[in-house]
Structure 1
Amino acid sequence: MTAFTNSSESNLYVYESADALTYNLLKGPAYTPPTGLIRDPSIIKHTDGYYWIVYTTNWTGNTIGFARSKDRVNWSFVANHTLQTPGLARTWAPEWFVDANGSVNVIVSLDTTNNYIFRPHLLTATNASLRNWSVPKPLSGLDDSNYIDTFIVRHGGKYHAITKQETTKYLEYAVADRLAGPYTFVGKDDWAGWGSWREGAALVRLDNGGWRVYFDGYAEKKYYYSDSLDGLKTWTPIRQVPQLTGFARHFTVLKESV
Protein backbone atom coordinates (compact mmCIF):
# COMPACT_ATOMS: atom_id res chain seq x y z
CA MET A 1 0.00 0.00 0.00
CA THR A 2 1.29 3.46 -0.92
CA ALA A 3 0.15 6.65 0.78
CA PHE A 4 0.96 10.21 1.56
CA THR A 5 0.23 11.38 5.09
CA ASN A 6 -1.29 14.15 7.15
CA SER A 7 2.24 15.11 8.18
CA SER A 8 3.76 15.25 4.70
CA GLU A 9 2.52 15.78 1.14
CA SER A 10 6.05 15.38 -0.25
CA ASN A 11 6.97 11.92 1.08
CA LEU A 12 5.82 8.45 0.11
CA TYR A 13 4.98 5.92 2.83
CA VAL A 14 4.85 2.21 1.96
CA TYR A 15 2.98 -0.38 4.04
CA GLU A 16 2.22 -4.09 3.73
CA SER A 17 -0.47 -6.34 5.18
CA ALA A 18 -1.30 -10.05 5.27
CA ASP A 19 -5.04 -9.50 5.71
CA ALA A 20 -5.86 -6.20 3.93
CA LEU A 21 -6.60 -4.63 7.31
CA THR A 22 -3.58 -4.54 9.63
CA TYR A 23 -0.93 -2.56 7.79
CA ASN A 24 2.68 -2.45 8.95
CA LEU A 25 5.11 0.24 7.82
CA LEU A 26 7.61 -1.10 5.31
CA LYS A 27 9.38 2.23 4.88
CA GLY A 28 8.46 5.84 5.46
CA PRO A 29 9.49 8.17 4.09
CA ALA A 30 10.38 5.87 1.21
CA TYR A 31 10.60 8.39 -1.64
CA THR A 32 10.59 12.15 -2.12
CA PRO A 33 10.11 13.47 -5.66
CA PRO A 34 12.67 15.93 -7.04
CA THR A 35 10.06 18.71 -7.16
CA GLY A 36 6.52 19.28 -6.03
CA LEU A 37 4.13 17.01 -4.17
CA ILE A 38 3.47 13.30 -4.00
CA ARG A 39 -0.24 13.23 -3.24
CA ASP A 40 -2.48 10.30 -4.14
CA PRO A 41 0.24 7.72 -4.98
CA SER A 42 -1.21 4.71 -6.84
CA ILE A 43 0.77 1.46 -7.18
CA ILE A 44 0.95 -1.44 -9.66
CA LYS A 45 3.39 -4.27 -10.43
CA HIS A 46 4.37 -3.91 -14.08
CA THR A 47 5.51 -6.63 -16.47
CA ASP A 48 9.06 -5.21 -16.36
CA GLY A 49 9.37 -6.52 -12.78
CA TYR A 50 9.16 -3.08 -11.18
CA TYR A 51 6.60 -1.63 -8.84
CA TRP A 52 5.40 1.67 -10.28
CA ILE A 53 3.64 4.58 -8.65
CA VAL A 54 1.85 7.45 -10.36
CA TYR A 55 1.03 10.54 -8.32
CA THR A 56 -0.18 14.14 -8.19
CA THR A 57 2.80 16.45 -8.62
CA ASN A 58 1.34 19.84 -7.70
CA TRP A 59 -1.79 21.78 -6.81
CA THR A 60 -1.80 23.38 -10.26
CA GLY A 61 -0.33 22.41 -13.61
CA ASN A 62 -0.52 19.71 -16.27
CA THR A 63 1.80 16.90 -15.10
CA ILE A 64 1.63 13.57 -13.30
CA GLY A 65 4.69 11.92 -11.78
CA PHE A 66 6.11 8.41 -12.08
CA ALA A 67 8.59 6.50 -9.91
CA ARG A 68 9.51 2.82 -9.69
CA SER A 69 11.11 0.28 -7.36
CA LYS A 70 12.27 -3.35 -7.43
CA ASP A 71 11.65 -3.95 -3.73
CA ARG A 72 9.04 -1.31 -2.67
CA VAL A 73 11.72 0.18 -0.37
CA ASN A 74 14.18 1.90 -2.72
CA TRP A 75 12.43 4.14 -5.25
CA SER A 76 13.75 6.07 -8.24
CA PHE A 77 12.16 8.99 -10.05
CA VAL A 78 11.25 8.13 -13.65
CA ALA A 79 9.63 11.24 -15.13
CA ASN A 80 6.92 13.84 -14.96
CA HIS A 81 4.55 13.36 -17.87
CA THR A 82 2.97 16.48 -19.39
CA LEU A 83 -0.64 16.11 -20.49
CA GLN A 84 -1.43 17.80 -23.80
CA THR A 85 -4.83 19.19 -22.89
CA PRO A 86 -5.76 22.81 -23.74
CA GLY A 87 -6.55 25.03 -20.77
CA LEU A 88 -5.53 22.43 -18.20
CA ALA A 89 -5.32 24.10 -14.79
CA ARG A 90 -5.17 21.13 -12.39
CA THR A 91 -4.14 17.49 -12.81
CA TRP A 92 -5.11 15.48 -9.76
CA ALA A 93 -5.49 11.97 -8.36
CA PRO A 94 -4.10 9.63 -11.06
CA GLU A 95 -5.03 5.95 -10.57
CA TRP A 96 -3.66 2.93 -12.41
CA PHE A 97 -5.93 0.50 -14.21
CA VAL A 98 -4.48 -2.56 -15.94
CA ASP A 99 -7.08 -4.12 -18.23
CA ALA A 100 -7.64 -7.82 -18.89
CA ASN A 101 -5.85 -7.49 -22.25
CA GLY A 102 -2.73 -6.16 -20.49
CA SER A 103 -3.12 -2.51 -21.51
CA VAL A 104 -1.84 -0.12 -18.86
CA ASN A 105 -3.99 2.92 -18.17
CA VAL A 106 -4.20 5.88 -15.84
CA ILE A 107 -7.49 7.49 -14.82
CA VAL A 108 -6.81 11.12 -13.91
CA SER A 109 -8.99 14.04 -12.81
CA LEU A 110 -8.59 17.17 -14.94
CA ASP A 111 -9.80 20.72 -14.35
CA THR A 112 -9.87 22.65 -17.61
CA THR A 113 -12.12 25.42 -16.25
CA ASN A 114 -9.71 26.82 -13.63
CA ASN A 115 -12.74 26.72 -11.34
CA TYR A 116 -12.19 23.38 -9.55
CA ILE A 117 -14.56 21.51 -11.85
CA PHE A 118 -13.04 18.06 -12.46
CA ARG A 119 -13.72 15.37 -15.03
CA PRO A 120 -12.07 11.94 -15.18
CA HIS A 121 -9.94 11.24 -18.24
CA LEU A 122 -8.33 8.09 -19.60
CA LEU A 123 -4.64 7.81 -20.55
CA THR A 124 -3.29 4.62 -22.14
CA ALA A 125 0.39 3.70 -22.31
CA THR A 126 1.55 3.43 -25.92
CA ASN A 127 4.74 1.51 -25.13
CA ALA A 128 5.82 -1.08 -22.58
CA SER A 129 8.30 1.29 -20.93
CA LEU A 130 5.39 3.49 -19.73
CA ARG A 131 7.20 6.58 -21.07
CA ASN A 132 4.66 7.44 -23.79
CA TRP A 133 0.94 7.98 -23.31
CA SER A 134 -2.15 8.69 -25.37
CA VAL A 135 -3.88 12.05 -25.36
CA PRO A 136 -6.31 12.24 -22.40
CA LYS A 137 -9.91 11.36 -23.29
CA PRO A 138 -12.93 12.04 -21.05
CA LEU A 139 -14.66 8.99 -19.61
CA SER A 140 -18.10 9.02 -21.21
CA GLY A 141 -20.92 9.25 -18.68
CA LEU A 142 -18.61 10.70 -15.99
CA ASP A 143 -17.74 13.85 -17.90
CA ASP A 144 -20.94 15.87 -17.54
CA SER A 145 -20.56 16.91 -13.90
CA ASN A 146 -17.86 17.38 -11.26
CA TYR A 147 -16.21 14.00 -10.57
CA ILE A 148 -12.77 13.34 -9.11
CA ASP A 149 -10.78 10.45 -7.57
CA THR A 150 -12.18 7.83 -9.95
CA PHE A 151 -11.11 4.25 -9.18
CA ILE A 152 -12.06 1.47 -11.63
CA VAL A 153 -12.08 -2.33 -11.32
CA ARG A 154 -13.25 -5.03 -13.71
CA HIS A 155 -15.75 -7.52 -12.31
CA GLY A 156 -18.30 -9.80 -13.93
CA GLY A 157 -17.32 -8.65 -17.42
CA LYS A 158 -18.05 -4.99 -16.64
CA TYR A 159 -16.10 -1.93 -15.53
CA HIS A 160 -17.06 -0.59 -12.10
CA ALA A 161 -16.14 2.95 -11.08
CA ILE A 162 -16.25 4.46 -7.60
CA THR A 163 -15.91 8.21 -8.00
CA LYS A 164 -16.25 11.27 -5.77
CA GLN A 165 -18.94 13.80 -6.63
CA GLU A 166 -16.88 16.86 -5.80
CA THR A 167 -19.89 19.13 -5.29
CA THR A 168 -21.81 16.90 -2.85
CA LYS A 169 -18.72 15.07 -1.47
CA TYR A 170 -20.38 11.64 -1.84
CA LEU A 171 -18.70 8.57 -3.33
CA GLU A 172 -20.92 7.39 -6.20
CA TYR A 173 -20.96 4.19 -8.24
CA ALA A 174 -21.20 3.73 -12.02
CA VAL A 175 -20.89 0.74 -14.38
CA ALA A 176 -19.92 0.40 -18.06
CA ASP A 177 -19.37 -2.29 -20.67
CA ARG A 178 -16.17 -0.61 -21.89
CA LEU A 179 -13.37 1.10 -20.00
CA ALA A 180 -13.93 4.34 -21.89
CA GLY A 181 -17.67 4.23 -21.13
CA PRO A 182 -20.40 5.20 -21.36
CA TYR A 183 -20.86 4.78 -17.60
CA THR A 184 -24.30 4.55 -16.02
CA PHE A 185 -24.77 5.45 -12.37
CA VAL A 186 -26.31 2.74 -10.21
CA GLY A 187 -25.48 4.38 -6.88
CA LYS A 188 -25.95 8.10 -6.27
CA ASP A 189 -25.62 10.36 -3.21
CA ASP A 190 -25.41 8.27 0.00
CA TRP A 191 -26.37 5.01 -1.76
CA ALA A 192 -23.98 2.83 0.31
CA GLY A 193 -24.44 4.58 3.65
CA TRP A 194 -20.84 5.79 3.78
CA GLY A 195 -21.74 9.43 4.41
CA SER A 196 -20.35 12.53 2.73
CA TRP A 197 -16.96 14.23 2.74
CA ARG A 198 -15.28 11.05 1.51
CA GLU A 199 -12.55 10.83 -1.13
CA GLY A 200 -9.78 8.69 -2.56
CA ALA A 201 -11.66 5.40 -2.88
CA ALA A 202 -9.52 2.30 -3.58
CA LEU A 203 -10.87 -1.21 -4.16
CA VAL A 204 -9.15 -4.55 -3.61
CA ARG A 205 -10.40 -8.13 -4.03
CA LEU A 206 -10.46 -10.16 -0.82
CA ASP A 207 -9.49 -13.82 -0.46
CA ASN A 208 -13.13 -14.74 0.24
CA GLY A 209 -14.17 -13.40 -3.17
CA GLY A 210 -15.60 -10.18 -1.79
CA TRP A 211 -14.37 -6.63 -2.25
CA ARG A 212 -12.99 -4.08 0.19
CA VAL A 213 -13.15 -0.36 -0.45
CA TYR A 214 -10.95 2.07 1.45
CA PHE A 215 -11.58 5.81 1.52
CA ASP A 216 -10.32 8.94 3.19
CA GLY A 217 -12.68 10.67 5.64
CA TYR A 218 -10.55 13.76 5.23
CA ALA A 219 -12.81 16.23 7.05
CA GLU A 220 -12.70 14.01 10.15
CA LYS A 221 -9.06 13.01 9.65
CA LYS A 222 -10.07 9.35 9.71
CA TYR A 223 -9.58 6.48 7.27
CA TYR A 224 -12.39 4.01 6.64
CA TYR A 225 -13.14 0.71 4.94
CA SER A 226 -16.28 -1.20 3.94
CA ASP A 227 -16.79 -4.69 2.48
CA SER A 228 -19.09 -6.16 -0.17
CA LEU A 229 -19.80 -9.89 -0.51
CA ASP A 230 -22.38 -9.65 -3.31
CA GLY A 231 -20.47 -8.22 -6.25
CA LEU A 232 -20.27 -4.54 -5.24
CA LYS A 233 -24.02 -4.20 -4.68
CA THR A 234 -24.35 -3.80 -0.90
CA TRP A 235 -21.75 -2.83 1.66
CA THR A 236 -21.08 -3.28 5.36
CA PRO A 237 -21.15 -0.28 7.73
CA ILE A 238 -17.91 1.68 7.65
CA ARG A 239 -15.13 1.03 10.13
CA GLN A 240 -11.84 2.77 10.71
CA VAL A 241 -8.65 1.21 9.35
CA PRO A 242 -6.63 0.38 12.47
CA GLN A 243 -3.26 2.13 12.94
CA LEU A 244 -3.65 4.20 9.76
CA THR A 245 -6.68 6.32 10.58
CA GLY A 246 -5.69 9.90 11.26
CA PHE A 247 -2.30 9.48 9.59
CA ALA A 248 -2.44 7.95 6.10
CA ARG A 249 -4.08 9.82 3.23
CA HIS A 250 -5.55 8.69 -0.12
CA PHE A 251 -3.80 5.37 -0.60
CA THR A 252 -4.00 2.51 -3.12
CA VAL A 253 -3.58 -1.20 -2.35
CA LEU A 254 -1.92 -3.77 -4.59
CA LYS A 255 -2.78 -7.43 -3.89
CA GLU A 256 -0.01 -9.98 -4.45
CA SER A 257 0.50 -13.66 -3.75
CA VAL A 258 3.92 -14.11 -2.18
Structure 2
Amino acid sequence: MKRLLAAVLAGLLCVLAAPRPAAAATTLVYATFKGDAAADEELWIYQSTNGGTTYSVLSDTNFHGPTGVLRDPSILKYNGIYYIAYTVQSWTTNSTYFNIASSSNLTSWTNIASIPSGIASTKYTWAPEFYVEGSTVRIITSVAATTCSNCFRPYVYTAQNTALTSWSGPAQMWGLGTNHIDTFVVKSGSTWHAFTKDETGKYIEHWTTTASLTTGWINRGTLFSSGYEGPSLVRLDNGSWRIYVDRYSTGGGIYTATSTDLNTWTGLSTVSCAGCRHGTAIAK
Protein backbone atom coordinates (compact mmCIF):
# COMPACT_ATOMS: atom_id res chain seq x y z
CA MET A 1 0.00 0.00 0.00
CA LYS A 2 2.83 2.36 0.89
CA ARG A 3 4.55 1.57 -2.39
CA LEU A 4 1.32 2.30 -4.29
CA LEU A 5 0.83 5.64 -2.53
CA ALA A 6 4.45 6.54 -3.18
CA ALA A 7 4.08 5.72 -6.87
CA VAL A 8 0.89 7.79 -7.15
CA LEU A 9 2.54 10.74 -5.35
CA ALA A 10 5.59 10.53 -7.59
CA GLY A 11 3.41 10.53 -10.70
CA LEU A 12 1.46 13.54 -9.45
CA LEU A 13 4.66 15.46 -8.78
CA CYS A 14 5.88 14.71 -12.30
CA VAL A 15 2.66 16.05 -13.78
CA LEU A 16 2.85 19.23 -11.70
CA ALA A 17 6.49 19.76 -12.57
CA ALA A 18 6.06 19.17 -16.30
CA PRO A 19 6.11 22.31 -18.43
CA ARG A 20 2.65 23.52 -19.39
CA PRO A 21 1.77 24.51 -22.95
CA ALA A 22 1.73 28.25 -23.66
CA ALA A 23 -1.65 29.96 -23.68
CA ALA A 24 -3.22 30.24 -27.12
CA ALA A 25 -2.46 33.47 -28.95
CA THR A 26 -5.22 36.04 -28.96
CA THR A 27 -7.49 35.82 -32.02
CA LEU A 28 -8.21 39.36 -33.17
CA VAL A 29 -10.38 41.01 -35.78
CA TYR A 30 -9.25 44.30 -37.30
CA ALA A 31 -11.68 46.76 -38.90
CA THR A 32 -10.14 49.09 -41.46
CA PHE A 33 -10.40 50.84 -44.81
CA LYS A 34 -7.78 50.88 -47.56
CA GLY A 35 -7.14 54.41 -48.79
CA ASP A 36 -8.31 57.69 -50.29
CA ALA A 37 -9.68 56.38 -53.58
CA ALA A 38 -13.47 56.05 -53.67
CA ALA A 39 -13.24 52.27 -54.11
CA ASP A 40 -11.05 51.99 -51.00
CA GLU A 41 -13.29 53.96 -48.63
CA GLU A 42 -15.24 50.92 -47.48
CA LEU A 43 -15.15 48.50 -44.57
CA TRP A 44 -12.71 45.58 -44.58
CA ILE A 45 -12.51 43.04 -41.76
CA TYR A 46 -9.26 41.14 -41.19
CA GLN A 47 -8.43 38.34 -38.72
CA SER A 48 -5.26 37.38 -36.86
CA THR A 49 -4.67 34.12 -35.02
CA ASN A 50 -1.13 34.90 -33.85
CA GLY A 51 -1.82 37.76 -31.45
CA GLY A 52 -2.08 40.55 -33.98
CA THR A 53 1.09 40.68 -36.07
CA THR A 54 -0.23 38.88 -39.17
CA TYR A 55 -3.70 39.43 -40.60
CA SER A 56 -5.65 37.89 -43.46
CA VAL A 57 -8.91 39.04 -45.00
CA LEU A 58 -11.98 37.77 -43.19
CA SER A 59 -14.53 39.84 -45.12
CA ASP A 60 -14.58 42.49 -47.84
CA THR A 61 -17.95 43.80 -46.71
CA ASN A 62 -18.48 46.31 -49.55
CA PHE A 63 -20.12 48.49 -46.89
CA HIS A 64 -19.64 52.22 -47.57
CA GLY A 65 -22.42 53.64 -45.39
CA PRO A 66 -25.15 56.01 -46.63
CA THR A 67 -22.68 58.64 -47.92
CA GLY A 68 -20.65 56.14 -49.95
CA VAL A 69 -17.60 56.91 -47.79
CA LEU A 70 -16.38 54.96 -44.77
CA ARG A 71 -13.06 55.74 -43.06
CA ASP A 72 -11.37 55.22 -39.68
CA PRO A 73 -13.69 52.45 -38.39
CA SER A 74 -13.68 51.68 -34.66
CA ILE A 75 -15.05 48.23 -33.84
CA LEU A 76 -16.85 47.04 -30.71
CA LYS A 77 -18.50 43.77 -29.68
CA TYR A 78 -21.38 44.52 -27.33
CA ASN A 79 -24.16 42.17 -26.16
CA GLY A 80 -23.16 39.68 -28.85
CA ILE A 81 -23.43 42.20 -31.72
CA TYR A 82 -20.58 43.90 -33.58
CA TYR A 83 -20.66 47.66 -34.06
CA ILE A 84 -18.49 50.13 -35.96
CA ALA A 85 -18.33 53.90 -35.56
CA TYR A 86 -16.82 55.64 -38.58
CA THR A 87 -16.00 58.86 -40.43
CA VAL A 88 -18.52 59.59 -43.20
CA GLN A 89 -16.52 61.81 -45.60
CA SER A 90 -13.00 62.04 -46.99
CA TRP A 91 -10.45 64.16 -45.15
CA THR A 92 -10.96 66.98 -47.70
CA THR A 93 -14.76 67.12 -47.41
CA ASN A 94 -16.73 68.79 -44.63
CA SER A 95 -18.54 66.46 -42.22
CA THR A 96 -20.77 67.44 -39.31
CA TYR A 97 -21.60 64.00 -37.89
CA PHE A 98 -20.36 60.42 -37.55
CA ASN A 99 -22.18 57.13 -38.11
CA ILE A 100 -22.66 53.79 -36.36
CA ALA A 101 -23.42 50.48 -38.07
CA SER A 102 -24.09 47.01 -36.66
CA SER A 103 -23.63 43.38 -37.74
CA SER A 104 -24.21 39.93 -36.31
CA ASN A 105 -21.66 38.22 -38.56
CA LEU A 106 -18.95 40.79 -39.47
CA THR A 107 -20.03 40.59 -43.11
CA SER A 108 -23.46 42.23 -43.51
CA TRP A 109 -23.67 45.72 -41.97
CA THR A 110 -26.58 48.10 -41.40
CA ASN A 111 -26.31 51.76 -40.48
CA ILE A 112 -28.22 52.35 -37.24
CA ALA A 113 -27.39 55.92 -36.19
CA SER A 114 -25.98 59.25 -37.32
CA ILE A 115 -24.70 61.38 -34.44
CA PRO A 116 -24.30 65.14 -35.00
CA SER A 117 -21.16 66.74 -33.59
CA GLY A 118 -23.19 69.22 -31.57
CA ILE A 119 -20.41 71.79 -32.01
CA ALA A 120 -21.23 75.16 -33.59
CA SER A 121 -19.79 75.74 -37.08
CA THR A 122 -18.42 72.20 -37.35
CA LYS A 123 -16.11 71.66 -40.32
CA TYR A 124 -14.81 68.13 -39.71
CA THR A 125 -15.97 65.22 -37.55
CA TRP A 126 -13.27 62.56 -37.63
CA ALA A 127 -12.24 59.18 -36.27
CA PRO A 128 -14.91 58.22 -33.71
CA GLU A 129 -13.41 55.71 -31.25
CA PHE A 130 -15.37 53.47 -28.90
CA TYR A 131 -14.50 53.57 -25.20
CA VAL A 132 -16.33 51.24 -22.80
CA GLU A 133 -16.12 51.46 -19.03
CA GLY A 134 -18.30 49.11 -17.01
CA SER A 135 -21.75 49.12 -18.61
CA THR A 136 -21.31 52.55 -20.20
CA VAL A 137 -20.48 52.86 -23.90
CA ARG A 138 -18.88 56.07 -25.10
CA ILE A 139 -17.38 57.39 -28.34
CA ILE A 140 -14.51 59.87 -28.49
CA THR A 141 -14.55 61.95 -31.68
CA SER A 142 -12.23 64.63 -33.11
CA VAL A 143 -14.13 67.78 -34.12
CA ALA A 144 -12.85 70.97 -35.79
CA ALA A 145 -14.82 74.17 -36.34
CA THR A 146 -14.72 76.52 -39.33
CA THR A 147 -14.10 79.48 -37.01
CA CYS A 148 -10.46 78.66 -36.27
CA SER A 149 -7.43 76.90 -37.68
CA ASN A 150 -5.55 74.11 -35.91
CA CYS A 151 -8.46 73.62 -33.53
CA PHE A 152 -9.32 69.91 -33.55
CA ARG A 153 -10.45 68.83 -30.11
CA PRO A 154 -11.63 65.48 -28.71
CA TYR A 155 -15.22 65.24 -27.48
CA VAL A 156 -17.00 62.42 -25.62
CA TYR A 157 -20.46 61.16 -26.58
CA THR A 158 -22.31 58.71 -24.29
CA ALA A 159 -24.82 56.06 -25.40
CA GLN A 160 -28.30 56.61 -23.98
CA ASN A 161 -29.62 53.12 -24.74
CA THR A 162 -28.30 49.58 -25.16
CA ALA A 163 -29.16 49.57 -28.87
CA LEU A 164 -26.53 52.33 -29.33
CA THR A 165 -28.97 54.36 -31.41
CA SER A 166 -29.35 57.31 -29.02
CA TRP A 167 -26.41 59.44 -27.83
CA SER A 168 -25.71 62.41 -25.60
CA GLY A 169 -24.31 65.71 -26.81
CA PRO A 170 -20.55 66.37 -26.69
CA ALA A 171 -18.41 66.74 -23.56
CA GLN A 172 -14.96 68.15 -24.20
CA MET A 173 -11.86 66.36 -22.86
CA TRP A 174 -10.49 69.39 -21.04
CA GLY A 175 -6.73 69.76 -20.68
CA LEU A 176 -5.80 67.52 -23.57
CA GLY A 177 -4.95 70.55 -25.70
CA THR A 178 -5.96 71.79 -29.12
CA ASN A 179 -5.25 70.37 -32.54
CA HIS A 180 -5.36 66.72 -31.53
CA ILE A 181 -7.03 63.98 -33.59
CA ASP A 182 -7.51 60.21 -33.42
CA THR A 183 -7.77 60.10 -29.62
CA PHE A 184 -7.97 56.53 -28.28
CA VAL A 185 -8.50 55.90 -24.55
CA VAL A 186 -8.02 52.88 -22.30
CA LYS A 187 -8.15 52.64 -18.52
CA SER A 188 -5.73 50.72 -16.31
CA GLY A 189 -6.44 50.69 -12.58
CA SER A 190 -7.47 54.23 -11.63
CA THR A 191 -5.67 55.90 -14.54
CA TRP A 192 -7.05 56.83 -17.93
CA HIS A 193 -4.52 56.73 -20.77
CA ALA A 194 -5.10 58.63 -24.02
CA PHE A 195 -3.06 58.09 -27.17
CA THR A 196 -3.60 60.87 -29.68
CA LYS A 197 -1.99 62.53 -32.69
CA ASP A 198 -0.74 66.10 -32.33
CA GLU A 199 -1.64 67.57 -35.72
CA THR A 200 0.98 70.31 -35.30
CA GLY A 201 4.06 68.18 -34.63
CA LYS A 202 2.66 65.01 -36.27
CA TYR A 203 3.61 62.87 -33.24
CA ILE A 204 1.60 60.30 -31.30
CA GLU A 205 1.34 61.62 -27.74
CA HIS A 206 0.57 59.81 -24.48
CA TRP A 207 -1.65 61.65 -21.96
CA THR A 208 -2.97 60.48 -18.58
CA THR A 209 -5.45 61.54 -15.92
CA THR A 210 -6.71 60.15 -12.63
CA ALA A 211 -9.50 62.74 -12.32
CA SER A 212 -12.04 61.69 -14.96
CA LEU A 213 -12.34 60.98 -18.65
CA THR A 214 -13.00 64.64 -19.41
CA THR A 215 -10.70 66.48 -16.97
CA GLY A 216 -7.16 66.68 -15.66
CA TRP A 217 -5.21 65.42 -18.67
CA ILE A 218 -1.40 65.66 -18.48
CA ASN A 219 0.99 65.18 -21.42
CA ARG A 220 3.43 62.32 -20.72
CA GLY A 221 5.42 62.78 -23.94
CA THR A 222 5.64 61.44 -27.48
CA LEU A 223 5.85 57.90 -28.81
CA PHE A 224 7.88 56.77 -31.81
CA SER A 225 8.95 59.15 -34.57
CA SER A 226 6.70 61.61 -36.39
CA GLY A 227 4.57 60.59 -39.34
CA TYR A 228 2.15 58.14 -37.69
CA GLU A 229 -1.56 58.56 -36.89
CA GLY A 230 -4.66 56.58 -35.95
CA PRO A 231 -3.41 54.99 -32.71
CA SER A 232 -5.55 52.15 -31.36
CA LEU A 233 -4.93 49.64 -28.57
CA VAL A 234 -6.03 46.12 -27.75
CA ARG A 235 -5.42 43.99 -24.63
CA LEU A 236 -3.91 40.58 -25.34
CA ASP A 237 -4.54 37.29 -23.53
CA ASN A 238 -1.27 37.60 -21.59
CA GLY A 239 -2.32 40.98 -20.16
CA SER A 240 0.02 43.09 -22.29
CA TRP A 241 -1.14 45.88 -24.58
CA ARG A 242 -0.65 46.14 -28.32
CA ILE A 243 -0.81 49.51 -30.09
CA TYR A 244 -1.41 49.95 -33.82
CA VAL A 245 -0.50 53.09 -35.78
CA ASP A 246 -0.93 54.04 -39.45
CA ARG A 247 2.25 55.25 -41.18
CA TYR A 248 0.33 57.73 -43.31
CA SER A 249 3.45 59.80 -44.10
CA THR A 250 4.79 57.08 -46.40
CA GLY A 251 1.47 56.15 -47.96
CA GLY A 252 0.08 53.89 -45.26
CA GLY A 253 0.82 50.58 -43.63
CA ILE A 254 0.15 49.42 -40.07
CA TYR A 255 2.89 49.23 -37.45
CA THR A 256 2.71 47.86 -33.92
CA ALA A 257 4.46 47.93 -30.55
CA THR A 258 3.68 46.29 -27.19
CA SER A 259 3.75 47.33 -23.55
CA THR A 260 3.06 45.76 -20.18
CA ASP A 261 2.26 49.04 -18.41
CA LEU A 262 1.15 51.53 -21.14
CA ASN A 263 4.16 53.71 -20.33
CA THR A 264 7.16 51.88 -21.82
CA TRP A 265 6.86 50.48 -25.33
CA THR A 266 8.89 48.23 -27.59
CA GLY A 267 10.05 49.60 -30.93
CA LEU A 268 7.65 49.59 -33.85
CA SER A 269 7.49 46.65 -36.24
CA THR A 270 5.45 46.16 -39.40
CA VAL A 271 2.15 44.30 -39.35
CA SER A 272 1.31 41.95 -42.22
CA CYS A 273 -2.09 43.34 -43.19
CA ALA A 274 -2.29 44.00 -46.93
CA GLY A 275 -3.73 47.44 -47.69
CA CYS A 276 -4.76 48.17 -44.09
CA ARG A 277 -5.03 51.74 -42.88
CA HIS A 278 -6.33 53.50 -39.76
CA GLY A 279 -8.58 51.05 -37.89
CA THR A 280 -9.05 49.15 -34.63
CA ALA A 281 -8.74 45.60 -33.33
CA ILE A 282 -10.71 43.63 -30.77
CA ALA A 283 -10.56 40.08 -29.46
CA LYS A 284 -12.91 37.99 -31.56
Tell me the TM-score normalized by structure 2.
0.82
1:28-177 to structure 2, matched below 5 A, reads 28-47=60-79, 49-58=80-89, 59-99=93-133, 101-112=134-145, 113=147, 115-142=149-176, 144-177=177-210
Q: Which residue of 1 aligns with 2:280?
A: 252
Q: Which residue of 2 aligns with 1:13?
A: 44
**Equivalent pair of 2:75/2:84 in contact (CA under 8 Å):** yes
In the alignment, does 2:253 pair up with 1:219?
no
**Equivalent pair of 1:2/1:43 in contact (CA under 8 Å):** yes
**Equivalent pair of 2:117/2:143 in contact (CA under 8 Å):** no
Q: CA deviation at 1:44?
A: 0.3
Q: Deviation string for 1:50-74 (max 9, x for gaps)? A: 1000000123121101111001111
Secondary structure in structure 2 of the residue aligned to 1:5 = coil
What is the CA–CA distance in structure 2 between the aligned matches of 1:11 and 1:141, rounded to whole Å? 34
Where structure 2 has 5 or more consecutive residues not aligned to the other structure, the ranges are 1-29
Q: CA deviation at 1:20?
A: 1.4
Please provide the CA RMSD for this pair.
1.5
How has the CA–CA distance of structure 1 residues 54 and 243 changed in structure 2, closer, same or farther, with 3 Å as cutoff? closer
Where structure 1 has 5 or more consecutive residues not aligned to the other structure, the ranges are none
Tell me the TM-score normalized by structure 1.
0.90
**Equivalent pair of 1:97/1:105 in contact (CA under 8 Å):** yes
Structure number, greater radius of gyration: 2
Q: Deviation string for 1:9-49 (max 9, x for gaps)? A: 431000111221211111114412121421100000112x2
Secondary structure in structure 2 of the residue aligned to 1:89 = strand
Q: Which residue of 2 aligns with 1:24?
A: 56
What is the CA–CA distance in structure 2 between the aligned matches of 1:240 and 1:211, rounded to whole Å? 16
* Code of the aligned partner of 2:44: Y
What is the CA–CA distance in structure 2 between the aligned matches of 1:9 and 1:85, rounded to whole Å? 29
* Code of the aligned partner of 2:219: F
Instruction: Answer 1 or 2: which has greater helix percent.
Output: 2
Q: Deviation string for 1:138-196 (max 9, x for gaps)? A: 10111x32110000001122110000000100000011122122211112xxx43x110
What is the CA–CA distance in structure 2 between the aligned matches of 1:174 and 1:72, rounded to whole Å? 32
**Equivalent pair of 1:30/1:75 in contact (CA under 8 Å):** no
* Code of the aligned partner of 1:115: S
Q: Which residue of 2 aligns with 1:232?
A: 262
Q: Percent same amino acid among aligned pairs? A: 37
Moved over 4 A (4+): none
**Equivalent pair of 2:61/2:107 in contact (CA under 8 Å):** no
**Equivalent pair of 1:4/1:41 in contact (CA under 8 Å):** yes
